[in-house]
Amino acid sequence: MILLSIDELNIQVYGCRKCRLWQGAKHGVPGEGPLNAKVMLIGQNPGADEDETGRPFVGRAGKFLSKTLAEFGIEREKVFITNIVKHVSPKNRKPYPDEVAACLPYVNIQINVIKPKIIVLIGASAKETPRVEGIKYIQIIHPSAAMRFTNMGEKFRVQIAEVAKLIGAIDS
């Protein structure tokens, strides 16, 4: 699949039928943010709020993520946020390998268009993101887990601090 622009990719995501997930979804959720973002955040899958709005990380976990990023001087509006799969999964379950495989071409295109310096992998499924030479990858705890478990919340804050430090290093 060769697409010329993010707009064309978004149209592909909205109409995607490559796996079963579209059947239970209201909207595809391609991602959002500046196309020249130095930082790209890639989560697992859209949740119910994301499915409702067509926007990534806008539910409780997304608000917590945005708040924590801001505490460390990272503006959500300056990062590109997406998910490894582009449709909500039933009961917010972890995406199956074939669902991830169906969406990887979309993620590849997003990475190739945006050309981030840092990719933050949020949660376990995001680690399936293909690695591109020259990009720094950092795995962090999913904000929903950080909200539920105190020790994970503390580790999440340490990880976001590390992301902020990496951003500072590429800005200087």
Give percent above pLDDT 70 in the chain: 98
Q: Where in the chain are the domains? A: 6-171
Length reported for the chain: 172
Task: Indicate the CATH number of 6-171 among 3.40.470.10, 3.60.20.10, 1.10.3080.10, 3.40.50.720.
Answer: 3.40.470.10
Q: How confident is the model at residue 5 (pLDDT cuts 50, 70, 90)?
A: confident
Rg value, the chain, Cα? 15
What letter does residue 79 receive in the DSSP assignment? S
Q: Which two tokens stand for residue 119?
A: 């990719």
Q: For 137-166, what is each residue's pLDDT tens digit?
A: 999 999 999 999 999 999 999 999 999 999
Measured between alpha carbons, how far is residue 71 from residues 75, 76, 94, 137, 154 in Å? 9, 11, 29, 21, 14
In one-letter notation, the amino acid at residue 94 is K
Q: How confident is the model at residue 61 (pLDDT cuts 50, 70, 90)?
A: very high
Task: Give the C-alpha separation, 117 to 140, whole Å.
Answer: 16
Q: Average model confidence (pLDDT) for the chain?
A: 95
Picking from 137, 142, 3, the residue whose alpha carbon sits closest to that of residue 83 is 142
pLDDT for 1 beyond 60: no
Mean pLDDT of 76-86: 97
